[in-house]
Amino acid sequence: MNSFSEDEVEHFKENGFVVKHDVVDRDLLEPAVEKFWDEMELDRDDPASWSGGGRKGNLPCSQDPVVRATLLDTPLQDMCEELVGKDTLQINNYTFAKPVYPTGKTPDEWEPPEHGHLDGHGLVDGSVQPFTIAVTVNMAEVKPKGGGFTVWPGTHKRVHEYFRNHSILNGLKSLQDEQGNWDSLPEAVENPGPPGTVTFWHNKMMHSAGNNCRPDIRMACVSRFSRKNLIDTQFEMYEDMWEDWAI
């Protein structure tokens, strides 16, 4: 049975991402959320103190078996392989545990981030660390304007097209003019949702954490899969960017 409808596959191809609800069971999420709390260095009983956070960066529990279970004991890899191809993928990184702390602003003051970044092509100068497809899992409820994973739809196509004729070192250049200003970026889309909501996203998507103008902490985990043969195929930029995908 297919996990994605034809419309969802079409949405993924056109926009570079697709969102599915109830993919990860709450029984797996709840213990993982406890691990977030163990490590965020915040007083759980004092929400007023959460504004501004908290321990920064990916939490150490990114590697914890309980947190990894939210990837390993779920259909996430199989679902990604429905898009990329059966038995094509391996885990590139496990469950980076990413809190986004409240900013202290109200939803009325919320704005999306002005821009995002690309992973693998542009984060580290002079090196590429590509992957194939990623999943961002909402570990707890993420309300709109609450720091949800944010994407710039369609940027995967612009970046892919640019790489056909340019170095793959910095894909952000495909989204900038000659002066380095953002060039006609699409409107950002934030992906809130209940626990277990997953955003599946293409490797060449501009993305970012959102701005959290809610009182709750945004808790999400990001994992990336790469093709088993990525080392041989990473420079391959087919005219049809889906040539080597299953969709």
Query: Least distance from C-beta 143 to ligand AKG, angstroms?
Result: 14
Binder among 35, 68, 98, 202 for ligand AKG (CB under 6 A): 98
CB of 1 to ligand AKG, least distance (A): 29
- Report residue 160 as tokens: 């892919």
Which range, of 8-16, 69-77, 79-87, 206-214, touches ligand AKG by CB under 6 A? 206-214
Strand partners, 117: 207
| Cα–Cα dist 40/164, whole Å | 42
Q: Would you count residue 208 as binding ligand AKG (CB under 6 A)?
A: yes
DSSP type of residue 29: H
Candidate segments 107-115, 175-183, 205-213, 232-240, binder of ligand AKG by CB under 6 A = 205-213
SS3 224: strand
Shortest Cβ distance from residue 213 to ligand AKG (Å)?
15
Q: Is residue 21 a contact partner of residue 209, using CB atoms and an 8 Å limit?
A: no
Smallest gap from residue 24 Cβ to ligand AKG (A): 16
| Interface with ligand AKG, residue 149, by CB under 6 A | yes
The residue nearest ligand AKG at its CB is: 209
For the sheet with 149-151, list strands across it: 189-191, 149-151, 207-209
Are β-strands 207-209 and 149-151 bridged in parallel, bridged antiparallel, or unpaired? antiparallel
